[in-house]
Amino acid sequence: MMYEKKKIIVVSNRVPYNVIKSNENIKYKKSVGGLITALDPIMSKRGGLWIGWGGQAGINHSLGIKANVWHKSKDEGYSLKFVNLTKNEIRGYYHGFSNRTLWPLFHGFMFQSHFNNKYWEYYLSVNRKFASEVLEEISGNELIWIQDYHLTLLPNLLREKNKDLKLLFFLHIPFPNYEIFRVLPRDKQILKGMLGCNLIGFQTKTDACNFLTCCKEILNLKVNFERCEVIVDERSVSVKNFPISIDFKKFNNLSQNKDAGKVLKSIKKINSDIKLIISVERLDYTKGIKEKLLSIERFFEKYPEYKRKVIFIQICVPSRTKIREYIDLKKEVDELVGRINGRFAEETWSPVKYIYKVIPQIKLISFYKASDICLVIPLRDGMNLVAKEYVSCKSEGNGALILSEFAGAAEEMKKDSIMVNPYDSEEVADSINLALKMPVEERKKKIFALRKIVKDKDIFNWAGNFLNYFIKTFENSGD
């Protein structure tokens, strides 16, 4: 691939390792999340530099640790550079503008967005801090690949310092339509920030189209919808959808190794003759966990014959635990699980098994293998890689995917999934019944078709398409 000849600098809010400082000792623990799942395999194979915050206030960015210590050999991996953030910066930039302003708004939860000027000031100052750290590392020939909504101002901040930089941006979450985005008091600054790039990537065609419309309506820029480009200061910015994926081969192989087999046997032994339905997500209101639990409650109301025959496993990864909305959500979910189990449970059976913690990857893969159905029904999601992880682990074809029409993954996977509106508890309950009764051959046909999609369009295909598109469009054209 052409991009393999280029040095890559990835810039994201977080590096892919949590920095844990204890008694003057520094330890590094692999992070979780869609961005890490997607990009770590590429950087491990390709090499380069990853710049981001280490997860705690005040960690020295010049520690010089190499991420490749976590990989198989000295030749694998990439360097890390840590951006120092103070407690106030974390509070204002991360917990504030990123996750109480942009996150809800970009997911369409307009009335949960908090518009606070202090948040904005911290967001701007931290993006400037990231710009300084990046500029220290460039020689002029790198591809600088900026990730996600935390750093929307960074591209233009870098462009202002060096107009010849090769800048790419990928938004992992949805981009809202014009009517929602225009509510943001800093809408013009966000658009101008992103337009500092040469190429801006989105998860879906709808997201890309929404961005182009906002550039036209809010900034009055010349937009070519057919060519998917915006003209800014006589410079062309390409806007295109590149649906992100996972390392299919890795998940497929792990699902068939001995360790996964041992865990799978223990899960099956405990749950013999019981159908398992699994959901995995961060504890976030956009994931529709409350709505999902209400659908599970409706399922057992409407189909009482499944009592003692079906268990719903809800795995929630703790997330943003210092933000009020997430604290309240945790309480509501706890209460809902308690209510459903209190209503339907019997002596040796409970309908909902609720796990609130990070699950080791091998154990998670074993849960995927053991589960007859995967329920992926967010209220809104940029992509949702759980859907792709699940089918990648089902080499025997013994599973079914129930998927929200509002997940980005639906654009690729809707044909062979059972599609639902996550707000419709009646439809979700009926879809679970449909999946449980689906003939074996039909299940296999659908799962194998979904596996082929993920295999053919894996994370390396995604990265190659994204980076090679940039090189062909800009470098080969002399732009």
Predicted confidence (pLDDT) per residue in 424-439, tens digit = 999 999 999 999 999 9
Better-scored residue on pLDDT, 32 or 384: 384
Tell me: do 89 and 27 sit in the same domain: yes
Tell me: do 260 and 351 sit in the same domain: yes
Band (26; pLDDT cuts 50, 70, 90): low
Residue 74 has pLDDT above 70, yes or no: no
What is the per-residue pLDDT for 35?
80
Tell me: do 414 and 465 sit in the same domain: no
Residue 27 has pLDDT above 80, yes or no: no
* Cα dihedral across residues 281, 287, 290, 294: positive or negative: negative
d(CA 235, CA 229) in angstroms, rounded, equals 10
Tell me: do 238 and 252 sit in the same domain: no
Q: Which residue bears the tokens 């044909």?
A: 415
Average pLDDT over residues 447-463: 96
Tell me: do 199 and 54 sit in the same domain: yes
d(CA 411, CA 272) in angstroms, rounded, equals 35
Tell me: do 331 and 343 sit in the same domain: yes
Tell me: do 299 and 441 sit in the same domain: yes
What is the per-residue pLDDT for 62?
46
pLDDT of 134-152, one tens digit each? 999 988 788 999 999 999 9
Tell me: do 373 and 405 sit in the same domain: yes
Better-scored residue on pLDDT, 202 or 75: 202
Average pLDDT over residues 377-404: 97
pLDDT of 145-172, one tens digit each? 999 999 999 999 999 999 999 999 999 9
Average pLDDT over residues 381-407: 97
Band (408; pLDDT cuts 50, 70, 90): very high
Enclosing H/E stretch for 411: helix 410-413
Mean pLDDT of the residues in the chain: 91
Tell me: do 239 and 256 sit in the same domain: no
Please say whether the beta carbons of 306 and 345 come within 8 A.
no
What is the per-residue pLDDT for 420?
98
Average pLDDT over residues 101-112: 96
pLDDT of 205-247, one tens digit each? 999 999 999 999 999 999 999 999 999 998 999 999 999 999 9
Residue 175 has pLDDT above 90, yes or no: yes
Tell me: do 419 and 469 sit in the same domain: no
Better-scored residue on pLDDT, 301 or 348: 301
Q: What share of the chain is helix, strand, coil (3-state, %, to 5)?
A: 50, 20, 30
**Distant-in-sequence, close-in-space partners of 425: CB < 8 Å, separation ≥ 6:** 291, 294, 295, 297, 298
What is the per-residue pLDDT for 4?
57
What are the start-end ranges of the E strands in 308-465? 310-317, 352-356, 373-376, 400-404, 418-420
Band (44; pLDDT cuts 50, 70, 90): confident
Q: Which of 176-180, 360-364, 444-448 has the lowest mean pLDDT?
A: 360-364
pLDDT of 272-288, one tens digit each? 789 999 999 999 999 99
Tell me: do 269 and 383 sit in the same domain: yes
The percentage of the chain sitting over the pLDDT mark of 90, rounded to a whole number, equals: 75
Residue 360 has pLDDT above 50, yes or no: yes
Residue 59 has pLDDT above 70, yes or no: no
CATH code of residue 304: 3.40.50.2000
Better-scored residue on pLDDT, 62 or 107: 107
Q: Which of 254-258, 350-354, 355-359, 413-417 has the lowest mean pLDDT?
A: 254-258
Domain count, the chain: 2
What is the per-residue pLDDT for 21?
64
Residue 72 has pLDDT above 50, yes or no: no
Q: Which of 1-15, 56-70, 80-94, 389-403 has the lowest mean pLDDT?
A: 56-70
Tell me: do 180 and 306 sit in the same domain: no
CA atoms within 13 A of residue 394's CA, in its CB half-sphere: 28
What is the per-residue pLDDT for 23?
65
Domain that holds residue 404: 248-456
What is the per-residue pLDDT for 69?
36
Average pLDDT over residues 446-467: 95
Residue 479 has pLDDT above 60, yes or no: no
Residue 422 has pLDDT above 70, yes or no: yes
Please say whether the beta carbons of 429 and 298 come within 8 A.
yes
**Residue closest to 55 by CA, chosen among 22, 25, 31:** 31
